[in-house]
Amino acid sequence: MTRNVGIVGGGHTKWGVREASYKDLIQEAGKATFEDVPDVTPDDIEGLFVGSVQPERFAFQTHVAPMVAELLGVDVDSMIARTELACASGQAALRYAWLAIAAGQIDTALVLGVEKMNLPREYTPEAQTSMANVMDREFDGVNGFNAPPYFAMVAQRHMHEYDTTREQLAQVAAKNKTHAANNAFAHFQKEVSVEDVYDSFELSPPLCLYDCSGVTDGAAGLILMNEEKAREVTDEAAWITGSGQTCLGSNSINNLPSMSAWPQATKAAEQAYEQAGIDDPVDELDVAEVHDCFSISEIVEYEDLGWVEKGEGGKFIEEGRSELDGDIAVNPRGGLLGCGHPLGATGVSQALEVFNQFRGTVEPERQVPDPETGLIHNLSGSASVHSVMTLARGRP
């Protein structure tokens, strides 16, 4: 029999190009997390799960989970792990913590996502070539398929098949970056118009600079507890109601099932919706943090998460259905386009955003009106893996 699990608190570093080291970011996020839940101390933590993608290359450090425990003064009683699933590493850490508590193995867990991506100038080539490792380096990497060219091809194909427009892509970027302008921890804090997106540097057509997420340093943490303990420390927990994760037998780009659709996302969403008892996500979801690593990603996700029919994602943004007062408020923290994308921290930050939206502690300019249900979504690699989690306020 599984147990109900709630997020009871969390904390953030400032995201951006930071002088702070990898260890500094860990300590900043850990301090903020424990300060947010004063009734929970490092002594209460039984399980520690660290999402971090490439500390070996960005921070020249491996075996990082025990290092996090040491830096935060946590003596782990039962379970410790670092998760690596490219851009979904943070949500993977959160998912494992949830499963461990739901299974009764532990009662209280700390999840921390962290990435230090901006290195001193002498190490810039190391940092710039590291992201190619996320693709299949032997096949995709040698042909220049890092992230921007791949997602540009997705955009080109989607535009060809469904008449998606350049303006619709720019509307995604403008929406999310404008949300980030009202987010104290976001990397990019400037309101952006559709015209600003057009005018930004053309990177990989049709994608311009503002269509792409940033290279960002940052960390975020969460504390999870079983229902009994969670209710002892807060009456504002965000309850995890469902989770799905799929990889449909592909990794390299030439083996993906489509260049304009992600059936992996559909299957992961269906798994999460079934567990959460969600029949109509557009009607039943209030807020969502989806993986907008590039503007086209959010449009494809509108479709493949089951919110609109295939090919109608562009209209979803154009008609304002993903605005704060729309059908589903999408990426009110600013998403990856506005907050930046410190790889291992993103999924943790998304869940923290939904939690803070539930308890009404985000900036008023980006507060979703009275949200009761939420979703977080991550893709990783060449969109070969998709992870989805649903949350609810006030009820497990």
Query: Which positions are catalytic?
Result: 87, 341
What's this model's pTM, rounded to 2 decimal places? Answer: 0.97
pLDDT digits (tens, 9 = 90+) for 351-383: 999 999 999 999 999 999 999 999 999 999 889
* pLDDT reported for residue 134: 78
Dump pLDDT digits (tens) for 152-167: 999 999 999 999 999 9
What pLDDT is stored for residue 252 in this prediction?
84
Which tens digits make up the pLDDT trace of 19-32? 999 999 999 999 99
The stretch 40-50 carries a mean pLDDT of 98
Question: Lowest mean pLDDT: which of 37-51, 62-76, 178-192, 246-260?
Answer: 246-260
| pLDDT bucket at 126, cuts 50 / 70 / 90 | low
The average confidence (pLDDT) of the chain is: 95
Question: How does pLDDT run across 277-330, given as a tens digit for each residue?
Answer: 999 999 999 999 999 999 999 999 999 999 999 999 999 999 999 999 999 999
**C-beta neighbour count of 25 within 10 angstroms:** 26
Picking from 206, 210, 212, 215, the residue whose alpha carbon sits closest to that of residue 192 is 210
Q: Does residue 249 surpass a pLDDT of 60?
A: yes
Overall average pLDDT of the 65-69 stretch: 98
Q: What is the pLDDT of residue 267?
A: 97
pLDDT at 132 over 80: no
Per-residue pLDDT band at 254 (split at 50, 70, 90):
confident
Question: What are the pLDDT digits (tens) for 193-209?
Answer: 999 999 999 999 999 99
The answer on pLDDT for 122 being more than 80 is: no
Work out the pLDDT band at 121, boundaries 50, 70, 90: low
Q: How confident is the model at residue 123 (pLDDT cuts 50, 70, 90)?
A: low
Q: What percent of the chain has pLDDT over 70?
A: 97
Domains of the chain with bracketed CATH: 5-121+215-233 (3.40.47.10)
Q: Grade residue 1 by pLDDT with cuts at 50, 70 and 90.
A: low
Residue 50 has pLDDT above 60, yes or no: yes
